[in-house]
Structures are given as C-alpha cells and as structure tokens.
Amino acid sequence: MDRILQFNVSLYSYTPQGAEQLYKQAEMIYYRLRLYQILKTKETLSVDELKSELGDNPLKHLLDVEDNAEVRLARHLDYLSHWTLKIAYSNQQPMFFMKCELRWFKTRFNNMSHDQRMEFIKKNNLNLTPATDTEKSNLKLWGQNWYKFNFTEVTLLVKLRLYPMYKGFIFIPEHKLVFWLTEKLQKQLQSSLVHCRKMLPSTCDQLNMLINTFELVQPYSDTTSRSFKLCDLKKNVEHFPLCMKFQYENLEKKHHLKHFSRVQYGLFLKGLGLSLEEALKMWKTEFTKKMSERCFQKEYSYFFKHQYGTVGSKIKYKAQCCDTILEQSVPSGFVHGCPFKHWDASVLSVRLREDDVCDEDVRKILGLKQREQYRAACTTYFQSVCGCKLDDVIDHPVKYYDKSCSSIVDIEDLVLSDED
C-alpha cells in the first residue's frame, strides 16, 4: 500500500487491504461524490479552478505539487473511496463512474512534474520505449522526448491520427503520455467494474447499507429528456451501429429510403432525441433532391408525423430493439435489417475490413454469424471499432450509440483540453 500511495495519481490496481471505520468510509464517499458533482457540472476546469471548486474537500490536496501529511492523507482517502464507489457504480452508471475517474486521473497526472511522472511510470512497471535518433530524424520529431507505442496500446490516439505512425507504431511526445495511461486505466476499470458487479451480492452488509445511504451522482442524460441535433448528425454517424450507419449511407446516396428503412432509421433517430421538426427537415432535404417538395408533403410528411405520434392513432412509437430488427425479412433490393444476420458473409466481410476491423475479429464475427449469434457479432464489431470492451451484449441500437459515445468521451476531453 505504501508504494501505491507514493503518488497523487493511481491506477488502482490492487484492492485495498485492512478495515476502515464506517464513519470514516462515509466521509470518504461523501468527498468523492462531491468531486463527481463538480466534474459533472463543469465540462472544462483548470487545476486552479478545480481546486477552488473543491473548497474544503481534502481531495484537493492531490492537486498540490509538494508532498506533505495532508497530501498523504488525501492519497489514502482517494484510494479507498475509489474502490467503494467502484462497487457502488458497478451496478448502475458504470460509464459515468469511468468518465469521472478518467478525468480526475488526467487532471492530476498533467499537474505532476516531469520527474514525478517518470517515477510513477517506473514504479508501476510500465515500459516506455524512447524513439531512436534515426526514427526522430526520419519522422521529423523535434523538440522534447518522443516515445513509441504499438498501435494496440493507444488505439484511440491512432484513430484520431494526431501523431506520426510508422510500421505499426505511433510516436507520442512526452507531454501527451497521459493518453497512453488513460487508456490503460480505462481498460483496467472496465474489467474491474465487471469484477465488482459480480462480487456485489457478497460484499458485507455494512458496506452495502453504507452505499445505499448515499444518493449517487448521476449523469444528465436519460431516455426521456435526451436531445440530438440534426447539425451533429454527420459527426455522430461513427457512433451508429452498422445497421443504422447503412441506413444513413443509403439515404445520403440514393436520397430515398423504402418503408421499412424509414421505420427502422426514423425511430432510431427519434430514440436518440431528434425532434420531429428536425426529422422532417432531414427527410425533406434528402427526398427533395429527387422529388418535388409538393410530392414529399403529399406522400411522406404524414408518415413521419405519425411516427412521432402527432397525427392519426397518436401512438408513441419507440426505437426498435435488435430482436425486432432481427426478426424482419429483408427481400433483395431492401436495405433495412441487421447486417450481421441479413447480409451475405462475403459482403459483410468486405464491409468489416473497410471499417478497419482486424482479421482476427473479422473471423470471429463471421463465426458468430454462422452460429446465428448476431448480437454477439455486433458486440465484437463494437469492441473492435471502439477499442474498448463491453461487459454485456448489444441488444438495442440506441444502447450501442450511447456506449460508443461514452467510449471516447474521455479522449475528447484530452484532445479539447490543452491545459497540459
């Protein structure tokens, strides 16, 4: 434990040993939840701003550079409260927990001195490979220290294509090492959350009672109040499951979708929070590239208003789940349905390669398709394109979208923030 508590940041690799008095644990939970509340409400914060927001919260000492008794106490509090809340959040909103934790880690790591960062990496037995002089000169890597990583170690950074890549390696400057560590922490938290969820029923009654006395901080979005803007459609398509990406691409290309596609894609966008007004704008913009506005109003606008329950039977239709989509038959010439079930293996395999799914995952997905495990195939696709593990199987296109957005939210924070 002493080794773990040597730094202001931690990868929380080991379960804490020893017992804490209950009132102490309650205090720790309280302080960490206050931290989450701040991280939830303030999208960007400098170290000084975060410190001032934390006020009398002892966790603020982890943003100090010097080492003293208060800092060491804060490290202890941080470690234990992390584990207690991991157990609590493992059963509800694990993605929100992860988002807060990754941001907390990133802020502290970036606030550490060069020597502290290097010492932290060394003490955690993490291997850093510096770029050689030849690599530096060939790739024109000037200035500070550069390190090289295998693509698999920093998948999201590879996806963002911000730094030079060569023969399966990406080269990262020292001040961006946080990308590498955050990805490590993210993977660790994912498996640790699954483990915590499994052991939840066997955790001691006292701890369960304690957790239940606190109202956990929750993320904002829920299915009833979510909103999705048409202007964000293009940039968010990368988070769509393959069935919906295909609808989007067909609408863009052919400026028309047949009935079952309009049902599948229209309800999906409604499920994401696209308003009727914006939905009508989107369909009209595309359809009127091939037909008159009068024809669109006469033949199609009623359909979309009906879909949103504002005319006719006024039924509030929900986005279709995977089982509903999988049950449909898809005659030739139609594009609705689930690619993992309704496409030929050869067509699917070409598309998977276009989406940069590695050979091993392509084989796995085709095997799952053959065994009719379509949702598991979709889950493998998700894991391959998003670069993160899922602890359950995809069963709804909206769920796929939400999980995909959460998987990169921390990296977006890192890219947008330049405080380091």
| Residues of the shown chain interacting with ligand SF4 in the complex, contacts defined by CB under 6 A | 241-243, 322, 325, 338-340, 374-375, 378, 394, 397, 400
Comparing CB distances to ligand SF4, the nearer of 155 and 264 is 264
**Shortest spacing between CB 190 and ligand SF4, in angstroms:** 20
Residue closer to ligand SF4 (CB basis): 28 or 322: 322
Contact 374, 326 (CB under 8 A): yes
| Strand bridging mode 165-166 / 129-130 | unpaired
Please, how many CA atoms are within 13 Å of residue 316, restricted to the half-sphere of its CB? 2
The CB-of-246 to ligand SF4 minimum distance in angstroms stands at 9
Of 371, 323, 381, 372, the closest CA to residue 349 belongs to 381
| CA atoms within 13 Å, Cβ hemisphere of 83 | 20
Choice between 202 and 329, CB closer to ligand SF4: 329
Residue closer to ligand SF4 by CB (options 36, 340) is 340
Q: 28 vs 325, which CB is nearer to ligand SF4?
A: 325
From start to end of 47-104, where are the E strands? none
Site of tokens 């606190």: 214
Distance CA 269, CA 264 (A): 9
With 0-12 / 13-18 / 19 or more C-beta atoms within 10 angstroms meaning exposed / middle / buried, residue 351 is: middle
E strand or H helix at 165: strand 165-166
Q: What is the DSSP letter of 381?
A: H
Shortest distance, CB of residue 225 to ligand SF4, whole angstroms? 23
Q: How far is the CB of 379 from ligand SF4 (least distance, A)?
A: 8
348 close to 354: Cβ distance less than 8 angstroms: no
CA nearest to 34, candidates 260, 200, 224, 217 = 217
Concatenate the DSSP letters of all residues of 207-228 into one string: HHHHHHHS-----S--TTT---
CB of 338 to ligand SF4, least distance (A): 3
Rank residues 102 and 322 by Cβ distance to ligand SF4 and give the closer one: 322
Query: Minimal distance in Å, beta carbon 352 to ligand SF4?
Result: 12
**Could you tell me the smallest distance in angstroms from the CB atom of residue 400 to ligand SF4?**
5
Helices (H) and strands (E) in the chain, counts: 21, 4
Q: Closest by alpha carbon to 246, among 264, 232, 228, 271?
A: 264
Q: Are 98 and 190 in contact (CB under 8 A)?
A: yes
CB of 228 to ligand SF4, least distance (A): 17
Nearer to ligand SF4, 117 or 341 (CB): 341
Shortest Å distance, C-beta 343 to ligand SF4 = 10
Quick one: 25 or 384, whose CB is closer to ligand SF4? 384
Measured CA to CA, the distance from residue 321 to residue 391 in angstroms comes to 19
- C-beta of 67 vs 395, nearer to ligand SF4: 395
